[in-house]
Chains A and B, each alone.
Chain A
């Protein structure tokens, strides 16, 4: 028995209305704003593609895009390597320790981005200073005061935060690999290393698609952690694209321009994730 038409729309209405005023209308309006000069109260002029042209010549914006891509690229590789490593570790037969380790590795994921940023600000500024005084290694000196340490600081924070999350995803696939397959390979004389590369790794292909997609889009859109850790400093060198857009909108109050940057940002994310999905899906089929 099909649901009656009226009931159908009544059940769908709250979500559709919310999506309409929260996403669809603002999105359409946003595209319009990106072609205008807009100060947050009124549109003062229609400027065509000027905002877009300006964005492509804006060195600070381009640098923020480059910085975002670099942070994202390095973190995605790190998060997935560590996440997979941790997942393999906690799925060994180690009894109760397995749950304990999972609990610990996943915990940072529960902490909000702002608080994470502040925690690591203390670790890099004071904790590392303490390690420097203790060991004399210049490696620990002056963190977050240079573009390089700001970059690695953000990467370390993201690794700590997200590896446990990606670990959970890998675990859910690892435990679904049929026991018999693994046991058969062991009986055939494969060692742990061979079992992983020859048996588990190919069966994990679908999970790579998911975990790469999630880590890629999550790291690309980071704002809170960036804001609380370095606030973009020193001299905007660690400013991610999201922060650059925010600052253009709410500090410079150049909303039309900020909106054009946001559209460019959206375009880049979409293209990158589509390429990633295409490549990993293709690999899934090849294996």
Chain B
């Protein structure tokens, strides 16, 4: 019996290892080829580089104006996420502290809006924001607030329902107003949910392409995904630069993942299941 268990354990570990290597193989190919010269990629696609060089990285870094694209992506992601956390937790707090028909109706409305796919509003969104001269970064952040609201409100509302009202009432009697209670008592208690909201939205905005490609049309404001098209023009494809560019583009997310893995995986799973 025990022997059996040890054998099956070994088999599972072996199987997992083989699958993991298979899973990582595409990334391995990208990284090894990014260290080759343009000529070597044509003759030696699968092997290790004969004389590894970082020259591609230097060129790609400059070509995609990495520093600026990174800052652009960061600004949009950071401000959108902060604004979403504040606004949606406040909205969910209000809904949870005035239960009744009105709140149920509003909550149901939020749920219904989640069914609208982005394509159905893409065109009029451009005309609405264009007509008020908001096809810019602030406009983009407002769009993200609108698109992400429903989901984030759900997550916060689910947690808030579990927090007893007595908590607020004690402070109300002490003379605090609602905003102070929200800020100093409620919001800190929502921290685990806030992590989930941050993770799912930050990943979305950081990686988003379609919406920024429509809204941002100045080269200097391009985010990392928009900038990747530099390497993939109509006729020229310089794989050696493109591969280095791809590695540079993935690196920030992978580094963050290594440090915050537990939170990220938990955030994704809570966001999906609730």
Q: Spell out A's residues near B (CB within 8 Å).
A: 1-4, 7-9, 11-12, 14-16, 18-19, 21-27, 29-30, 33, 40, 86, 89-90, 92-94, 97, 100-115, 118-123, 126-127, 129-131, 133-134, 160, 165, 168-169, 171-172, 192, 210, 214, 221, 223-224, 227-228, 241-242, 245-246, 249-250, 255, 258-259, 262-263, 265-266, 269-270
* Inter-chain contact A11/B94, CB cutoff 8 Å: yes
Interface membership of B58, Cβ < 8 A:
no
> How far is B150's CA from A263's CA once the two chains are assembled, in angstroms?
21
Q: A-B contact count, CB below 8 Å?
A: 245
Interface membership of B168, Cβ < 8 A:
yes
Asked whether A115 and B249 contact (CB < 8 A) given A15-B153, A228-B232, the answer is yes
Interface residues in B1-27 (C-beta closer than 8 Å to A) = 8-9, 12-13, 15-17, 19-20, 23-24, 26-27
Q: Which of A19, A113, A169 contacts B269 (CB 8 A)?
A: A169
The 7 closest A-B pairs by CB, nearest first: A22-B146, A112-B207, A130-B45, A11-B94, A26-B124, A29-B124, A18-B146
11 further interface pairs, Cβ-Cβ under 8 Å (given A97-B13, A109-B268): A11-B91, A15-B149, A19-B149, A97-B17, A115-B228, A119-B246, A133-B45, A169-B273, A210-B273, A259-B123, A263-B120
> How far is B122's CA from A118's CA once the two chains are assembled, in angstroms?
24
For the complex formed, measure the closest distance between the CB of B143 and the CB atoms of chain A, giving whole angstroms.
Answer: 5
* Inter-chain contact A223/B122, CB cutoff 8 Å: no
Asked whether A18 and B273 contact (CB < 8 A) given A8-B98, A33-B124, the answer is no
> How far is B125's CA from A147's CA once the two chains are assembled, in angstroms?
33
> How far is B203's CA from A25's CA once the two chains are assembled, in angstroms?
27
**Residues of chain A with a CB closer than 8 A to B228's CB:** 114-115, 118, 228
Q: Which of A97, A103, A122, A263 contacts B30 (CB 8 A)?
A: A122
Interface membership of B115, Cβ < 8 A:
yes
**Residues of chain A with a CB closer than 8 A to B172's CB:** 1
For the complex formed, measure the closest distance between the CB of B195 and the CB atoms of chain A, giving whole angstroms.
Answer: 15
* Inter-chain contact A11/B93, CB cutoff 8 Å: yes
* Inter-chain contact A26/B121, CB cutoff 8 Å: yes
